[in-house]
Structure 1
Amino acid sequence: MTYILLVFLKSEIEKVVGRLGKVKLSAGYYVYVGSARLNFKHRIRRHLARKKKLFWHIDYLLSDAKAKVVDVFYVDKVIEHEVARSLHELGFKVVENFGSSDCSCPGHLFYVDDEKKFEGLINGIGFKSYV
């Protein structure tokens, strides 16, 4: 299962994200691409929880009070890396190395500045809304 978290940042944040180091994010919408081979619902509940052990890069972002998950999309295929590469190829600004420490993708977190282009991608792949 591949999922996309649509995250809204109320204002700019700057924080240390594990071994990735200091990350500065502008206010606005971001998408995070992930996968869950097992326990998809558990993974999403964990992402939505404010208090948790900070393990994945996305945990550091979502633990911030300025960040809010506004939607979750999913597709019943494991295509996380293909989706991340497609977002990058479509010109969405990638947060370098965020969420991609275990792969060769440039990153798995993207700033969304073109809603129609994003909707076209997820609809074309067949993502459904979960929230």
Structure 2
Amino acid sequence: MNESVFYALYRIERELIGIMSLDAGVYIAVFYMPKDRKIQIGQLGRFRFHQGVYFYVGSAQLNLSARIERHNRKKKTLRWHIDYLSAKVEMLGAITIPGPRELECQLAKELGGMFELAVPGFGASDCRCVGRFFFVKDLAKI
């Protein structure tokens, strides 16, 4: 194996081990909306959410598991867009991926190619993404 390739793989491995030891990475939280309803999402506004499954892309560069647990709690200080929604609907689970914060926008772009953007700007006040919250009504599409 080429020495530079070996060194590159070693660096990637070290970075991932470092990220995993920090309990850090990106995640997709999955929520279920049992019926259509309107929910106020902070200063973003009041939106109508249809019955179905929603995917939220987020990241935490420290305490990733605590961030996901927060999304599952109903009582919390409402700080982020997702807090307003997660306090009112059921979280089905989350998929975590060790990696840098930049992966969050890449992942949101990929999901945006597969699913409908639920609310423009949702979860994306700190980047240039059109949003990080996606909707699918037909579970057969998953």
Same fold (TM over 0.5): yes
- Residue from 61, 69, 73 that aligns with 2:91: 69
Secondary structure at the aligned position of 2:66 is classed as helix
So what's the TM-score if we normalise by structure 2?
A: 0.76
The aligned counterpart of 1:36 is 60
Greater helix share, structure number: 2
In the TM superposition, structure 1's runs of 4+ consecutive aligned residues that sit over 6 Å from their partners are: none
The aligned counterpart of 1:124 is none
Q: Residue 23 in 1 paired to residue 47 in 2?
A: yes
Residue pairs, 1:99-118, within 5 angstroms: 99-113=123-137, 115=139, 118=142
So what's the TM-score if we normalise by structure 1?
A: 0.82
- Where does the alignment leave 5 or more consecutive residues of structure 2 unmatched? 1-24
The aligned counterpart of 1:57 is 81
* Counterpart residue identity of residue 110, structure 2: S
Quote the sequence identity (%). 37
- RMSD of aligned alpha carbons: 1.5
How many residue pairs get aligned? The number is 115
- Where does the alignment leave 5 or more consecutive residues of structure 1 unmatched? 119-131
Taking the aligned partners of 1:83 and 1:114, their CA distance within structure 2 comes to 21
Offset at residue 117 of structure 1 (A): 5.8
